Chains A and B, each alone.
Chain A
Amino acid sequence: MQFDPFVIPFNIGLYFILIYVITRSVIWFRDLSKPDKLRLQRGFFGIAFGMSLKEIFMESLIHRKILKTNLRLGYMHMSLAFGWFLLILFGTIEADIFGARHLNAPYKAIFFRFFNPEHGKTGFEAAYGFLMDLILAFILSGLLLAVLKRFYSKIVGMKKTTRLKLTDKIALTSLWLIFPSRLLAESFTSGAYGTGSFLTGTLGTWLATFLPARQMAYPFWWLYSLSLGTFFILLPITRYMHIPTELFLIFMRNSGIKTGDKAGTYSEVQTYSCSSCGICIDACQLNFSAGITNIQSAYLMKAIRNNDDVTDIAYNCLMCGRCDQKCPVGIELSPIRMIQRRGGEAENDIRNIYKGYFRSRQSVNPENEIIQANYNFLKEEEPGKTDIIYFAGCMTHLTPAIKKSMVKILDASGLKYNFIDEHGGVCCGRPLMLSGQDKEARELINFNSRMIWKSGAHTLVTSCPICYKVFKESYYLDVKVLHHTQFIKMLIDDGLVKMNFLHKKVVYHSPCDLGRGSGVYCEPKEVISHLARLEKSSFEDENSLCCGGSLANMKLSSSIKKKIALDAVNALTKNNPDILATACPLCKKTFSSVTEIKIADIAEIAAEALIAKPLKIYSSSHLTSIKELANI
């Protein structure tokens, strides 16, 4: 039996982390809702499992997404993750082939050179040793980048890197020590026995010329084992927990589990899967426009993990969703932030002594005081029967040019419609939802739903992406919900309206709730290119900016919001367009207040381009798209 006391720290750490991960998985699985448990079981025997393996390989080891956005940062992550994986894999094979026996204890593979110092003399052994050295060199190159990144983040092409807490620092140090100590331990051993390949061999031979290699090796083997052990034991309470957790995340996601609106296993798994890589920090406009660098999603995830008070972080966010798009792990950051908002100001009282290792479950929504949030005082008017409802929304009432344009277009279309909130209406409910007050919002939703249902309409057109999102996601309506850009597109396609071509340069700003929030990217641009010359900007589609006027952030001062707006306008209007077009009344208002450049909603441009024709009421049955809608 090959054994040496120095392997004890490693063994303790390894078995600790294995038992921990198993316990943790059991707890996580137990806490899943019944449907999610079923999904997971189905996923395990289905295609999800294979897909997950592939994704784990591509994302957790190769880090494809990071590589695509940032080559150097991706290389750093890849060399550490993939390199370490290869080292373990080939180390195990090495121990299995060349070791005294097959099926060795893990430590035999990790400390193979110590127990087999003479190994590497024959040709095949030397070739294998070369491979192992190559892998180690690969990891060390990544480690070098990581160390540099910590002190000088621009080296990997990042403007900001995450700040660390003490345990993170200790874990980081132990992680950093693992590979250099392995290198030195192996080199000294190789130096003493005249083995080792191009890296360990060369370094070992050179070190042996002026140091007592045999005696020097032993302490480094201890250091190697100790740093591994420390790293494993600290892993659950540091960001490195993301290493095992991400595997669960990928599998759960592929099985079809979603974040939902309550805290649960999936949101917790996602929270732990955040590696604090800091990509979200660079993506965040609060960082690069306003210099606020403590509220980004990486910090939110960390604060949740640490059971810190997250109220300030959770609310100081535009909810623009830029970080969701950029997150290489694919964490649903905005929904998790919303869960924190819904959690309100409630405290996590129940803290146990192992809170770092088994944190108390996140508090569920505290019951708000019973507020008589009903809207009985509002007159519920009987809406006339109609095909199409136009719901302008509060913000559109504050930008009457959009409202007027839509009325002009709707009149010209000849379709039977009802401008349901022409003389004032009830809020769609999203602002309340964004501040975490779902119950109160539900009252508004019910009120509006009744109105819409009574009208018998098959299509609801709204001018405001904020309304659009909530109508689509949180209303249970048997109507097709369209943003007015989609509706105008449809009118043009069906030949219901004719438009002139305006010889103007137009740049499109995609509103957060319409683009990233609801996935409507194409129709607005198609309408613009039908009407005018659509110019490209450097912030298209998923990468579009937030105007800064977001309803979701009530923490920012006006001047900061203006700064964000101004930066966004400047970035979008680099090529001096005639019009900066948007499809959201709030974006329009926000931009108009900071620039002299003409800001217009797509509806306004369309109304300007509209060729007037005599008013005629069509029956909706003649029209293709509209007819399709009626059949839903």
Chain B
Amino acid sequence: MAERYSSFQSGGRMWLLQRITAAFLLVVLAFHFFLLHFVHHADEVSFLASSARMENLSYYSLMILFLVTATFHGVNGVYNALVNQGLTGTKRTVIKWTLVAASTVLIVQGVRTANAWAGIGLY
């Protein structure tokens, strides 16, 4: 049976991933806002406090996952919006890879920052 459907057609896979990341982000974004605006206050931010949070491994991993899913969800959303506007052909390929490159830069920069706070040497 498998030869009829070897894997997801890309449309369906991306659609599903967009929903799964959405459900995840819903929870984590609410937590993020709550922790950094209501529990702690934005004007009391300091390197020391950020660092203390990031040194906790589960917080660190959650934030990395948060960064990756948010980037995917956002960039994929932008890509979908552009495709819906009728983006096709070479233009589409160019924009696709530009978005991939931008996402990579964003994630790398985010991880470096997290590492700097967590005291992980790699940044």
Do A and B come together as binding partners?
no
